[in-house]
Amino acid sequence: MSDFTIILGNKNYSSWSLRPWLVLRKTGVAFTEEVIPLYAPESKSRLLAHGPSGKVPVLKHGDVTIWDSLAICEYLAEIFPDAGLWPENSRDRAFARAICAEMHSGFMALRDDMAMDMRASHPEHIPGPGVDADITRITEIWNQCRAENANQGPFLFGDFTIADAMFAPVASRFRTYGTKLDKISADYTDAVLHWPPLVEWYEEALAEPFTITAYNNPED
Ligand SMILES: N[C@@H](CCC(=O)N[C@@H](CS)C(=O)NCC(=O)O)C(=O)O
């Protein structure tokens, strides 16, 4: 059995679960995963059995338990220093941390209005108040990173890093809701959605039997 266990929510809906799962895949380490279907009668007690916040994701490694997506990514970067989880130079690393924090604590209008739902397709969706401003800021970040790293690879800092994992659910939302994007953002979205571990997660999300009918969780 692997030393690492990650507790996840439904792959179709749980954007916070997706992020550190992608980062774990980037490390190459073997890990065990457990999916807890969210918003079912027994969900909360099952979640609380794993972590004090009663939310997913939770990573367990020996006697270490981490119950926040970004904290998990930071922990993995610390214990896998050669996995390239953050950009190599300190200027890019600081920038990457800032945009990850911006994603982790912001873009509430987009998160509320365009919930991650990988099985769904709503190209007719009309964004609610504040969503356009979130999309403008996100695509500004993406354009700036891509302009600086265009020759290094297809991701924000060239190779896939924690920053790409943090924005991967946004790429999925843009696909679901048919968001019109500038060419650089559209190409970047494509690169993220074709990254093999994300393709694999998508396949598992599509095959998942659980559905949350009244899905409306602004924290997702
Ligand atoms: N800030 C937390 C947010 C975690 C979060 O909101 N998780 C959602 C699923 S994506 C959850 O566990 N919802 C279930 C619940 O609140 O009962 C993180 O980054 O890990």
Q: pLDDT tens across 91-146, in order?
A: 999 999 999 999 999 999 999 999 999 999 999 999 999 999 999 999 999 999 99
All residues at 6 or more sequence positions from 60 whose CB lies less than 8 Å from its CB, including other chains: 4, 5, 6, 7, 50
Whether 196 and 129 map to the same domain: the answer is yes
Determine, yes or no, domain membership for 216: no
Atom of ligand 1 nearest to the CA of 39: 17
Would you state the structure tokens that stand for residue 109, as one six-digit string? 């209008």
Q: Ligand 1: which of 39, 55, 201 to mutate, most ligand atoms within 8 Å of CB?
A: 55
Residue 42: burial class (beta carbons within 10 Å; 0-12, 13-18, 19+): exposed
Whether 10 and 71 map to the same domain: the answer is yes
CA of 39 to the centre of ligand 1 (A): 11
Whether ligand 1 lies within 6 angstroms of the CB of 18 is answered as no
Whether ligand 1 lies within 6 angstroms of the CB of 219 is answered as yes
Contact 50, 66 (CB under 8 A): no
Whether 109 and 179 map to the same domain: the answer is yes
Contact 35, 11 (CB under 8 A): yes
Enclosing H/E stretch for 33: strand 32-35
Contact 44, 54 (CB under 8 A): yes
Whether 20 and 38 map to the same domain: the answer is yes
CA of 46 to the centre of ligand 1 (A): 13
Whether ligand 1 lies within 6 angstroms of the CB of 42 is answered as no
Whether ligand 1 lies within 6 angstroms of the CB of 111 is answered as no
End-of-domain residue from the set 51, 83, 115 = 83
Domain boundaries, position 49: 4-83
**Euclidean distance between CA atoms 194 and 137, whole angstroms:** 23
| Atom 15, ligand 1: residue with shortest CA distance | 55
Whether 109 and 41 map to the same domain: the answer is no
Among 199-203, 205-209, 210-214, which stretch is predicted with the lowest mean pLDDT?
210-214
Q: What is the pLDDT of residue 104?
A: 98
CATH number at residue 133: 1.20.1050.10
| DSSP-assigned beta bridge partners for residue 34 | 7
pTM: 0.96
Number of compact structural domains in the chain = 2
CATH number at residue 46: 3.40.30.10
Whether 169 and 186 map to the same domain: the answer is yes
End-of-domain residue from the set 83, 105, 131 = 83
Contact 8, 47 (CB under 8 A): no
Whether 148 and 182 map to the same domain: the answer is yes
Contact 32, 1 (CB under 8 A): yes
Q: What is the pLDDT of residue 95?
A: 98
Q: Each residue of 125-143: b (16+ CB within 10 Å) or e?
A: bebeeebeebbeebbebbe
Determine, yes or no, domain membership for 46: yes
